[in-house]
Amino acid sequence: MSEIKFDALCIGNAICDVFAHVEEDFLVREDLVKGAMRLIDTDEALRLYDKMGQTVRISGGSAGNTAAGIASLGGKPAYFGKVAKDDLGEAYTHDMTATGVHFETPPLVDDVPTARSMILITPDGERTMNTYLGACTKFGPSDVDADVVAASAVTYMEGYLWDPEEAKKAFLAAADIAHNNDRKVAITLSDSFCVDRYRSEFHDLIKNGVVDLVFANEHELKSLYETADLDTAISAARESGAVTALTLGSEGAMAITPEGQVKVSAQKLDTVVDLTGAGDLFAAGFLFGLARSYDHQTACELGCLCAANVIGHVGARPEKALKDVANQGGFIV
């Protein structure tokens, strides 16, 4: 069996985030569901962009943010995702490799452009995402480098990969390689609407042991188990056989296993600027913790610390080294 070289391999839609601050009534006028991600085509992307004010552009993508977070903690992440050979794609590649992420998925040439998500931040810090998938629709099984999967302690993938047709196949191929090499497989449920779209398939992934570890927030877990009651959803998660890492916003986070559960409190925050990436950075801390053999409680605590850090500014990537933040928080990383 090959040696472990990467703490985690993250696979997802490689997206450039385009942020703008808007008032609540902008969402009402545009008939947008606050906090959700919707997929849009080129025409809608252009139409909405014209209505957005001053923008900030930062590399994003859920699993990409998690990989960047692990690198920022001083870990060794790898990433698979498809950008185009254009300015946004080159900036994306720079941001990954410059922060220490192993990222060698070949870019798409002479085809659709790099994906972008127009993220509207309301005054409460909530974000509403409008995503044009572009080059992500061309990500497929041939982009799965088996050697990297085999060399990664865990392969962590977005539920969002169920949206582009070929990406789902890549997800399943990567999971197969990981398990054949005795590695773990994790999924993030991504979004309660994403769960809505693929509920039965996500259930099958868990039931059939395709995934060992599930990341979810409260809305996603309730959606997965079709209940309005969080305790009911937690019981179902406990009985699912998988380990569930559950984020609870300002209430903190939980790790739920067949044997029981642990809960940790969230960091106290003065101001919430932008919630984008909170879940992604929780996953970075939790996965980093697992790779360092932390117990579930400590891994949750590091996850909460990383999530708190990214909420304080616009963008889903750490601005300062999370390694320093973690050390100041009493973690030895």
Binding interface with its own copies (CB under 8 A)? 21, 49-59, 68, 72, 86-88, 91, 94-95, 98-99, 123, 273, 313-315, 317-320
Residue closer to its own copies (CB basis): 50 or 231:
50
Whether residue 137 contacts residue 163, with contact meaning beta carbons closer than 8 Å, is answered with no
Q: How far is the CB of 214 from its own copies (least distance, A)?
A: 28
Cβ closest to its own copies, residue 99 vs residue 244: 99
173 and 11 Cβ atoms separated by less than 8 Å: no
Minimum distance of its own copies from residue 269's CB (angstroms): 14
Token pair 């053999």 in the structure block, residue: 293
What are the tokens at 91? 């900036």
The Cα diameter of the chain in Å comes to: 56
Kindly state the tokens that stand for 286: 């939790």
239-267 burial by CB neighbour count: b if 16+ within 10 A, else e? ebebbbbbbbeeebbbbbeeeeebebebb
Which residue, 12 or 252, has its beta carbon nearer to its own copies? 12
Q: How far is the CB of 32 from its own copies (least distance, A)?
A: 18
Q: How far is the CB of 91 from its own copies (least distance, A)?
A: 7
197 forms beta bridges with: none
Residue 139 is encoded by which pair of tokens? 């990500």
Least distance CB 309 / its own copies (angstroms):
12
